[in-house]
A and B are shown apart, each in its own frame.
Chain A
Amino acid sequence: MTKSQITFMETKADPGELLAGLEASLNIFHGTTRSTTTPNTKRGGSRITEPTNYEEAAVSSILHDIPMYHSLQNACLIEDKEIGVINDSYKRSMEDRANDDEMEPDGQGTGEGTSTTPEPATGEAGASAEGAGKSTAPDMHDATNSPSNPEEEFQISQDKGAIIEAIDALFAMADDSNVCLKCGESGHPNYECQAKGSDQVKTALTALKKKLQGDDVEEKETSQEKDSEEQDRFRQENYKATREGEYMYLRAIPLSVIGDRAHGEKSTNGVRADERGPTTKDQLNHIVDTASQKGIVTTCKEMRSALTYSDHRMYKKLAIGTDIGKLKILPVNGGTFYSSGYAGHETWC
C-alpha cells in the first residue's frame, strides 16, 4: 500500500503528515503525552484517537469531517520497507525481554511478562499495565542507569577494575604476611584459620567484588548460597596457587655461578659433561672396587661387626653360629665353596 494525498481545507496533503500535525497540536494544547490517553496500536496497523474533553471532541469532529477519514482508519500510512524495519525492531525487543525472563532465577521472577501488577480488567487499565511493562524492558532500564557519556562509563569501569584488583591484592598480601582476615590474628593465613563461623570480611569483600563485576551478580549470589563453601575452598586453592606462582617469575642467572657459557652449552665449569668420569665399564668397576676397599661395608673386617645390627620388629639379625673368620661378598662371577652344605646349613629345618 502506498501513500496517497487528500484535499483538506483546499490544500492537498499527505494524510499521515496531516494527522501527525493535528496530534502534535492536541498534545501541546493539553500538555499531556500521547501515551497516557492514546494507546499506541501501531503494531496493528491502525491509529485510534480517543477524545477526552470538549476541545478534543471538536477537533475530532473536524477530523471526522475529512473526506475519506473512515477509510483512512484502516489505511497503512507507511511503506513496506518501514513496516519491515518496525517488525524487526519489535521482534528483537521481544526476544530481549524473553531472554531476560529466562535468566531470572527461580523464585525471583517478576511473573509472566514484565509486570508484577495484576492483570488489568479494563482496556484503559490494561493500557497502563502494558506501559509499565515496557518501562522495565532491559534497554529502557539500562538507558536510565548507565551514563550517557562513554568516557564517563570508561572511567567508572576502570575504577571498578582497580577496586577488584585491590581486593585480590588484599587477600594475597594478607596470606603472604600470615595475617588472617577472618579472626584478625597474625601467624597464619586466611585459609589455615581454625576459627569457626563465617568469614564476614571475606564474604563482604567478595560480594563487593562480584557486585562490581556485574549488577546482576547479587541475584545470582542469593541463589548460590548453597555453594558458598565450595567457592571458599576454590578460592583458598587459588590463594595457594598464587603463593606458589610467585616463584615462577624468571630472572637471569649470574654466569659466574653456573659456569662459562663460552665453553659450550653442555659444559659445566668449562668441562664438557661427557668428557669426565670413567670411560669404560672396567674403569667404573675399578672405582667401585677402590671404594669398597676403603670402606668397611663390602668386606666386614671382623665377624663381630655383623653382630652390631639390631634385631627388632622390622629387622632380623643374621644368625651366624660362629665368630671365627670373616664375612665377604662373593665375586659376581661366582665361586666355589668348601662346605658341602653351602646352600644353607643343614640344621636350618
Chain B
Amino acid sequence: MRHGVEYPLPTESNSNHVMLEGWEKTYSCYFNKALRHHIGRKEVWERVPGGRQTIYPGLKCDEAGWVDIMEFLHHPWIFEHEKVRTEDDGLVGIDFREERVKTMIKTVWSEFQEKNKIRIQFLCIVLDSTFDKPDDYLKNVMKVGDDIHDIIAKRGEVFLAPIAVRSPGEFSARGNDFRLDYGRICHPITTRIADDIHFCYHVTEFENVTGIIKEGLRPGGHRGGRTQVFLNPFVPWDKRYKDILGGQLTHLGQPRMVLAFSVHRLMSLGAIISASGQMVVNGNVPFSEVIAAWYQANNYEWERLYSSIPASSNW
C-alpha cells in the first residue's frame, strides 16, 4: 500500500494547505478543460501559428462522464500539444503514468482547499469484507495477493486502483452532441437536505426575463446546449456565494436578475445536488416556481422586484 498519494486532512493546529506550482496549475486547468469539453467528441482541434489547425482525438466516456483512466493519461492534447513539462512529453511508461495520477490528485486536493471545487473524481475498484477470492483479472492485472484479507480486516476496505476519471462540473454540449445523464452524476435530494438548504437561486441577465416568463428557465439559457438548469444555494450578495461555493460573479456590467426557488418545490421536478453543492434540474424550470426575484442595474444595490414583473405571468 505504498502506491498513490494521500494528503493529510486539516487539523485545528495545521491547515495542511497544499500549494501548487506553476506547471501544476497549468495542468489543473488543462485537466479540467479536457474532462469538461473534450468528452464525447470525436476530435478536438487547436489553432497553431500560421493559421493551421492541429486535430486531436476526443475523449470517449459513458453517460456518467467517466473516461477510462488510461485513455485520459494518454490524451495527446494535454501531454503532447500543450507541453507543460518537457520531461513528460508523450511518454507512456508506468512511472510517468503514476506521476500524472499523483499530479492529478494534488491538483484536486489543492483546488478543493482553495475554491471548494471538485475538479476531478477517480472511480476506483474497492474490495471490502465481502471479498472472498480473486478472479484472473484481480490476480493478474491488479496483483491481488493473499495479504489483501489482512489489509481489509485492518482498514475495512482497500482501494485497488482507479479505473476512470471524470469532472463533476458542467459539461459543454451543442446540437446533437452527446448528453450526460446527470442522474448518474449528482445525488438525489431528500427532505432533510431540502430543509438544510431551503432556497436556491439563479442569476441571469434581466433581458432574459420575457423568455423566462414564457418558457421558464431554459438549460443553457437562450443559447441552449445544455439539458440541465443549475441553481446555487446562495444569493450573489451573500458572502458565502464566493467563500463557500467559490462562485464567480457573472453578467457583470449589465442589468442582472436573481430568481429564487424553493428546494422543496423543486424536488417535485426531480432536482438533484451535484458534488459541488449546486442544485441541478433536468429540463426547464417553469416560471411558476419562482418565489422571489431581485434586480440589479449594473452594479447598484439589489432591489426586490414587486411590481416590475411583466404581465401575462404565472404569478
Contacts from A to B (Cβ < 8 Å): 244, 246-255, 257-259, 261, 265-269, 271, 273-274, 276-281, 283-285, 287-288, 290-292, 294-295, 297-298, 309-311, 314-322, 324-330, 332-349
Contact indicator A345/B161 (Cβ below 8 Å): yes
- What is the bound-complex CA distance between A197 and B160, given in angstroms? 74
- B45 contacts chain A at the CB level, 8 A cutoff: no
Of B79-87, B193-201, B216-224, the one contacting chain A is B193-201
Contact indicator A339/B143 (Cβ below 8 Å): yes
Chain A residue numbers with a CB within 8 Å of B234 are 274, 277
- Chain B residue total in the interface (Cβ 8 A): 114
| Contact string against A for B residues 233-252, beta-carbon threshold 8 Å, 1 for contact and 0 otherwise | 11101111001110000000
Partner of B135 from the list A288, A317, A318, A324 (CB cut-off 8 Å) is A324
| Contact string against A for B residues 112-128, beta-carbon threshold 8 Å, 1 for contact and 0 otherwise | 10001010011111111
Nearest first, the 10 closest Cβ-Cβ pairs linking A and B are: A321-B137, A291-B187, A343-B97, A316-B60, A344-B70, A330-B122, A342-B161, A314-B178, A274-B238, A334-B105
Contact indicator A341/B161 (Cβ below 8 Å): yes
- B31 contacts chain A at the CB level, 8 A cutoff: no
Contact indicator A329/B158 (Cβ below 8 Å): no
Contact indicator B197/A250 (Cβ below 8 Å): no
Partner of B161 from the list A251, A283, A339 (CB cut-off 8 Å) is A339
- What is the bound-complex CA distance between A252 and B315, given in angstroms? 10
Determine how close the nearest CB of chain B comes to the CB of A70; give it in whole angstroms.
Answer: 85
Chain B residue numbers with a CB within 8 Å of A325 are 125-128, 131, 138, 160
Contact indicator B315/A253 (Cβ below 8 Å): yes
Partner of B123 from the list A288, A327, A344 (CB cut-off 8 Å) is A327
| Contact string against A for B residues 195-233, beta-carbon threshold 8 Å, 1 for contact and 0 otherwise | 011110100000000100110000000000000000001
Contact indicator A315/B61 (Cβ below 8 Å): yes
Chain B residue numbers with a CB within 8 Å of A261 are 304, 306
Residue of B4, B100, B109, B144 most packed against chain A (CB within 10 A): B4
Residue of A292, A318, A343 most packed against chain B (CB within 10 A): A343
Chief secondary structure at chain A's binding surface: loop
Chain B residue numbers with a CB within 8 Å of A292 are 187, 275
Given A335-B4, A338-B158, A346-B94, the answer on whether A277 and B121 have CB atoms closer than 8 Å is: no
- What is the bound-complex CA distance between A113 and B241, given in angstroms? 77
Contact indicator B187/A349 (Cβ below 8 Å): no
- What is the bound-complex CA distance between A288 and B135, given in angstroms? 35
Interface residues of B in 89-103 (CB under 8 A from A): 92, 94, 97-98, 100-101
Residue of A295, A332, A349 most packed against chain B (CB within 10 A): A332
Chain B residue numbers with a CB within 8 Å of A265 are 302-304
- What is the bound-complex CA distance between A283 and B197, given in angstroms? 10
- B15 contacts chain A at the CB level, 8 A cutoff: no
Q: Tell me the nearest residue of chain A to B245, going by C-beta.
A: A284
Residue of B68, B108, B159, B291 most packed against chain A (CB within 10 A): B159
Chain B residue numbers with a CB within 8 Å of A250 are 307-311
Interface residues of B in 262-315 (CB under 8 A from A): 272-277, 291-294, 302-313, 315
- What is the bound-complex CA distance between A114 and B222, given in angstroms? 59
- B154 contacts chain A at the CB level, 8 A cutoff: no
Q: Tell me the nearest residue of chain B to A312, going by C-beta.
A: B178
- What is the bound-complex CA distance between A284 and B5, given in angstroms? 25
- B43 contacts chain A at the CB level, 8 A cutoff: no
- B192 contacts chain A at the CB level, 8 A cutoff: yes
Q: Tell me the nearest residue of chain B to A255, going by C-beta.
A: B306
Given A288-B187, A288-B277, A337-B4, the answer on whether A274 and B109 have CB atoms closer than 8 Å is: no
Contact indicator A335/B197 (Cβ below 8 Å): no
Determine how close the nearest CB of chain A comes to the CB of B245; give it in whole angstroms.
Answer: 8
- What is the bound-complex CA distance between A329 and B157, given in angstroms? 13
Contact indicator B307/A252 (Cβ below 8 Å): yes
Chain B residue numbers with a CB within 8 Å of A333 are 6-9, 109, 112
- What is the bound-complex CA distance between A268 and B92, given in angstroms? 56
- B151 contacts chain A at the CB level, 8 A cutoff: yes
Partner of B100 from the list A246, A283, A288, A343 (CB cut-off 8 Å) is A343
- B153 contacts chain A at the CB level, 8 A cutoff: no
Given A250-B311, A322-B135, A336-B4, the answer on whether A349 and B92 have CB atoms closer than 8 Å is: yes
Contact indicator A278/B238 (Cβ below 8 Å): no
Contact indicator A273/B235 (Cβ below 8 Å): yes
Contact indicator A253/B309 (Cβ below 8 Å): yes
- What is the bound-complex CA distance between A131 and B69, given in angstroms? 98
Given A253-B306, A268-B199, A274-B234, the answer on whether A326 and B128 have CB atoms closer than 8 Å is: yes
Given A265-B303, A295-B187, the answer on whether A277 and B197 have CB atoms closer than 8 Å is: yes
Chain A residue numbers with a CB within 8 Å of B92 are 349
Contact indicator A339/B3 (Cβ below 8 Å): yes
- B52 contacts chain A at the CB level, 8 A cutoff: no
27 contacts between A and B (CB under 8 A): A255-B306, A259-B292, A266-B304, A277-B199, A278-B240, A281-B116, A287-B193, A288-B274, A291-B193, A309-B64, A324-B134, A325-B125, A325-B127, A325-B131, A326-B126, A326-B127, A327-B123, A327-B124, A330-B122, A330-B159, A333-B109, A335-B124, A336-B4, A337-B124, A337-B160, A339-B141, A343-B98
Determine how close the nearest CB of chain B comes to the CB of A41; give it in whole angstroms.
Answer: 69
Determine how close the nearest CB of chain A comes to the CB of B163; give it in whole angstroms.
Answer: 6
Contact indicator A334/B109 (Cβ below 8 Å): yes
Contact indicator A339/B310 (Cβ below 8 Å): no
Partner of B291 from the list A268, A287, A314, A316 (CB cut-off 8 Å) is A268
- B255 contacts chain A at the CB level, 8 A cutoff: no
Chain A residue numbers with a CB within 8 Å of B238 are 273-274
- What is the bound-complex CA distance between A200 and B211, given in angstroms? 34
Contact indicator B311/A251 (Cβ below 8 Å): yes
Determine how close the nearest CB of chain A comes to the CB of B97; give it in whole angstroms.
Answer: 4
- What is the bound-complex CA distance between A318 and B98, given in angstroms? 20
- What is the bound-complex CA distance between A288 and B186, given in angstroms? 9
Q: Tell me the nearest residue of chain B to A342, going by C-beta.
A: B161
Q: Tell me the nearest residue of chain B to A245, going by C-beta.
A: B210
- B88 contacts chain A at the CB level, 8 A cutoff: no
